[in-house]
Amino acid sequence: MDNTTTDTFFNGQVTVKQSRTGYRYSIDAVILAGHVRPRPADRIVDLGTGCGIIPLIIGFRYPGVKLYGVEIQQDLADIARANVKANHLEKRVEILPADMRTLKPSIVSGPVDQVVSNPPYHRISTGRINPDSQRAIARHELKVTLEDVLKAAEAMLRTAGKFV
């Protein structure tokens, strides 16, 4: 049995598979993607891409941009890659299974124009940590902290680049 569900955006033009029981994107990611306003030919990195929802939305809305989704959890990176392929965005969206704390601009051929991230928003010492590891890592600072996200964004951005 397939352990994923499929959602659609833009009247069915974009399909997104995600785990049925693990990490699932929320409206936060959709709203965040809507706030990205790239110029033609911009290069954008999504730190903590999960199932790739943010690059999929931006890639659909802005055909001239190149996107990179960075994801530390290999199983989520695999789902994100499958989503990119299912939406025929392989030439413009690349999923990188990597730890953002060690990310260097050279992995994407130099600094980028924009960085976007929907980071874990709970400190490890606050709230109940979800027993599902995918969800726990996405919501609590178990693998990366907000400071790590900010440092990675700074490292990846060109001078006068934008962090969303």
- Burial class of residue 90, CB neighbours in 10 A (0-12, 13-18, 19+): exposed
Whose structure tokens read 């954008």?
Answer: 44
Task: Give the count of alpha carbons within 13 A of 1, CB side only.
Answer: 5
Instruction: Tell me which fold the domain 4-163 belongs to.
Output: Rossmann fold (3.40.50)
Question: Phi first, then psi: what are they for 81, rounded to 5°?
Answer: -60, -45
**114-128 pLDDT per residue, tens:** 999 987 676 777 777
Rounded distance between C-alpha atoms, residue 45 and residue 154, angstroms? 11
Rounded distance between C-alpha atoms, residue 83 and residue 5, angstroms? 12
Give Cα 106 to chain centroid, integer Å: 19
**pTM attached to this predicted model:** 0.88
**8-66 pLDDT per residue, tens:** 999 999 999 998 887 888 899 999 999 999 999 999 999 999 999 999 999 999 999 99
